[in-house]
A and B are shown apart, each in its own frame.
Chain A
Amino acid sequence: MTMPFKKLCIYSKKASLFAAFTLAGICIQSQATASEGKKDFSGSPSFSEPLPETSKIIEFSLQRGRDGHLRPTYIADLPDRPAYFKIEQGATFGRMLDQRMSNLHYSGPGGMLAFSRHVHSADRISEIGFARGSFHYVKPGHAGTHVYNPSLGFRYMQLRKLRVDARPDFFLGVKADLFGNMRIAPSLGNSFLFTDIVFAMQPKARVEHATYFFNRDWQFDYSLSFALFGYGMRIPEYGPTFQVTEDGGAAITHTESGGLHPGNYGHITTGIFLREPIGGDHNPNWLRLGYVWDYFRISGNHDLNTYHASHQLVLELYFMIN
């Protein structure tokens, strides 16, 4: 149904994988059948000039969509593994219950920030999250006291596309998280620190789906991951990790550690995202706006469990770095 109308060849050392992320959301790489030394202006498909080996090219074209309107799309001579510097930032609302600290639910606002190296090729997605942090300022229902709830961690993710030519795109893989979740509770001249350190392997599924409404195509991503196994440390299992008395400190640590499995650890992360290209022809970057729900539970001895849930409104920015 689509039809090439105009072709531009842009030579750039920083060309990128854009065909997979166009407004149309339609894979057009199949149209980019190379035919060296031959130009064809009569119709589809479009062709490019032979290029120096060190150069990369993006072909920009306007194509007619299902609605009959013309939209820009790209054909690119891309690196095999286009890599992005990814920045995640968001506003969050958290709810937690740490029965070592209190039997009350604490809830309140917060924020999150993460930096990753993200690779998104036609058949796989991989990501190394080298710094992930969040912070919540939570209170119990009566709002008389407050607790600081920071979290720091690292992430590795590897997803493979199940069928390259299938629509929607369906990725399946695994996510490995290492994170520390802390609760700092100032109370009666003392401050108490409670800490959990978790390493967990989580199967993850991701669906990338293009749909058409309001006279344009929209690219949506859905993701779901859940805990399978891992290793966790509760520092300590019974009482605070560290007690700060006014302005000093006293460690009274007694650590509980052991294997994590669905019986004592549950972790679900699910989200929905809208993806949009940004940056124009020379800067094939993109962003995602999304909503993420993250929940985990750690069961400890003596029926002292930790629950943590957060709603996250996230803006992800992807800047190509190769």
Chain B
Amino acid sequence: MLAAIMTMAGCEKLFMDDDLKSDPEDVFEEIWDFTDRYYSFFEEKSINWDSLYEVYRPQVEQDMSPIELFDLCADMLYELRDGHVNLLSSFDRSRYWKWFLDSPENFYYSVIQRHYFQDRQRYVGPLQFVFLSDKIAYVYYSSFGNSVSQGNLDLIMNSIQDMEGLIIDVRHNGGGDPGNGRDIASRFTSERVFAGTNYVKNGPGHDDFHAVDVYIDPHDGLRYDGKVAVLTNRRSYSATTYFAQYMRELENVTLIGDTTGGGAGLPAFRDLPNNWILRVSSTKFYDPDGKSIESGVPPHIYAEIPEVNDSLDLTYDPIIETAIEHLLD
């Protein structure tokens, strides 16, 4: 019996599928295969992943260097045109940033700091909060990765009850936890609102999805029923796009600025045998009209900061001014 125990224990690898090898061909196959089974936007973006395999697979050679292999795989992943697709190694991180590089900046934090905060803002958790006048309050939220608590929101809700309007600025907010967006949105509605449908991959087929409806439920405690303006630009990405979509469905909310950057696919990841990590979008989100928000949520009112030439006026933010004008209208 002792011999049987030791024999079985020593051979446990025989009871498992093989570990992956780290040679270039295995690494490439793993990248292509994982993306094939988990990436969520093949149909929406009309990407023929099989044909890309035919283009890139022949270029893989057993003796190619890690950098050569990385660049080849990065080029293939770039074809997905997705900011949530990354290949991470110790020497580089592949990325797709055209979703904001081709668009106007539309945000200068120093303008906010110098001409709107003027060192008067409160730091309420991750939120920077200031009264712009006796009628308008302003909140800047720089990252949904920094969690906002109910206590933070209670303090702000309590402070703005007599205000005519609130501006929530999420420009240059690169995302984080969509749950923070739901918590904030729940403070601005008194009834349950259907915000859209999240589709989660549940099989290897490019069209295998499981649908989950997403609702914004009103918060039980302090809420604000005045007018709200949400400021967005192209660098409002990922969870910020979700937030913009949640807020867009609320009656008293107006989105002002530019279309958000998109990034509506929550990422899945995979460890690769050569110490790289792959991340791809594995969900997609449709608004109540059945329209994908992967390429961004459009504003109700387009507004922009003129491009940097010699005419940039850094003494005010035209998008904030548009919001103030709208809220006081």
Contact = CB atoms under 8 A, between A and B. Distances in A.
B179 interface: yes
A95 B15 CA distance: 11
A270 interface: yes
Interface stretch (B150-158, B163-171, B247-255, B263-271): B263-271
A222 interface: yes
B269 A222 contact: no
B52 to A, nearest CB: 21
B283 interface: yes
Contact of A240 (B1, B8, B144, B268): B268
A145 B2 contact: no
A246 B146 CA distance: 8
B54 interface: no
A188 B5 contact: no
Interface in A201-260: 207, 222, 224, 236-240, 243-250, 252, 254
Nearest to B180: A248
B273 A238 contact: no
A188 B88 contact: yes
A99 interface: yes
Given A142-B275, A190-B269, A297-B15, A254 B200 contact: yes
B5 A307 contact: no
A103 interface: yes
A204 to B, nearest CB: 14
A38 interface: no
Interface string A115-159: 000000000000000000000000011111100000000000000
B279 A247 contact: no
A307 B16 CA distance: 6
B116 to A, nearest CB: 27
Contacts of B270: 102-103
B271 A144 contact: yes
Contacts of B19: 97, 104-105, 141
Interface in A245-298: 245-250, 252, 254, 266, 268, 270-272, 291, 293, 295, 297
A39 interface: no
A185 B269 contact: yes
A295 B268 contact: no
Contact of B179 (A185, A248, A311): A248
Contacts of A307: 15-17
B30 interface: yes
Contacts of B210: 254
A105 B30 contact: no
Interface of B: 1-2, 4-5, 8-9, 12-13, 15-17, 19-20, 22, 30, 37-38, 86, 88, 144-147, 175-180, 198, 200-204, 208, 210, 212, 239, 266-271, 273-277, 279, 282-283
The 3 closest A-B pairs by CB, nearest first: A248-B177, A246-B145, A144-B275
Interface of A: 95, 97, 99, 102-105, 140-145, 185, 187-190, 192, 207, 222, 224, 236-240, 243-250, 252, 254, 266, 268, 270-272, 291, 293, 295, 297, 301-302, 305, 307, 309, 311
6 contacts: A95-B12, A104-B20, A105-B16, A245-B177, A250-B177, A297-B15
Given A143-B275, A248-B178, 19 more contacts: A103-B20, A105-B13, A140-B271, A141-B273, A142-B274, A145-B277, A187-B277, A187-B279, A188-B86, A188-B267, A207-B1, A243-B266, A244-B177, A247-B177, A252-B212, A270-B4, A270-B9, A271-B5, A301-B203
